[in-house]
Amino acid sequence: MNFEHQITSDESRVTRHGFSLIEVILAVGILAVGMLFIASVFPVSIYFTTVATERTIAATAADEAFATIKLYGINLADLNTKTNPLGIPTVPQVLVDCQLTSYNSILPENEYSYPAGGDIYHKPYYWSAVYRMVDANDVQVTLFVCRKTGGNQNYWIRDCSSPYNPGPTSYRPVAFPLIVNASPSGRPDEIAISDISEISFVNDGYTILDGFSGRIQRVLQRQMPPNDYVLRLDSDWQGGYPGLIWVVPPPVGGGRYPCIAVYQKVMRF
């Protein structure tokens, strides 16, 4: 027998191992789990990118709105003599919604959109403002910058000829006044909406303006039924009772909360 040939034959019979089916399945499973984690990051990143973009736009829109208010001015004498849409004195007047101040007759309708001008009914962003006297010459202006969440959606406003009725409607989101009372629990960080037909106008996470103190507060939670007219705030309520809050309600029929940001500035006129 040829010895060299025997060695060659033994070498040719060396076993060469590959991946088993179980190993392939485990590898694919690990890869799939990893891809699921990676894919779950994209919706979150898209959401935060959208939020950051809208807040940047809101800041720019607010700067333009404050400049517009400064340009057109506020009639301080008119502010001192008139009451708000609900008939409660010494609280902010609304710039947009009710013919109770001279401001509405001065500011053109297309100035409330951002960008201003053009087709005012289908702009992506709008603003409304509430103002109150701080001293003889200074006025605290609170600005609500909002998105329009649908091209054909309408939003509630107060009917000034019948101040307790939430209507007619507006093509753009606006600040809306609500009367509030003390919470049945007596908690200092809770208030109760006076008209239970309007409880859907405020929900968890909404930003409100205290009509007496001018403080901006956040709604942490609207209680569950039967106490769903009670709002828990992020700080103690400092207004009196009956009190007044300003909030941007959702669209008529329900939908996404339109308010992006709330800004406040003391301005001299």
What is the domain count for the chain? 1
What ranges in 73-110 are assigned the alpha helix state H?
76-81, 103-106
pLDDT tens-digit readout, 95-135: 433 333 333 445 777 888 888 877 888 888 999 888 877 77
Please indicate, yes or no, if residue 61 is contained in any of the structural domains: yes
Alpha carbons 91 and 159: distance in angstroms, whole number: 18
Please indicate, yes or no, if residue 156 is contained in any of the structural domains: yes
Please indicate, yes or no, if residue 6 is contained in any of the structural domains: no
Using alpha carbons, select from 141, 250, 233 the residue that is nearest to residue 193.
Answer: 233
Mean pLDDT of the chain: 79
Phi-psi region of 68 (alpha: psi -120 to 50; beta: other; left: phi over 0): alpha
* Whole-number Cα distances in Å, 141 to 29, 57, 193: 58, 19, 24
pLDDT tens-digit readout, 201-238: 999 999 999 888 889 999 999 999 999 999 999 999 98
Please indicate, yes or no, if residue 243 is contained in any of the structural domains: no
Parent domain of 79:
45-175+248-268
Q: How are beta strands 138-147 and 169-170 bridged, if at all?
A: unpaired
Give the containing element (helix H, strand E) for 251: none
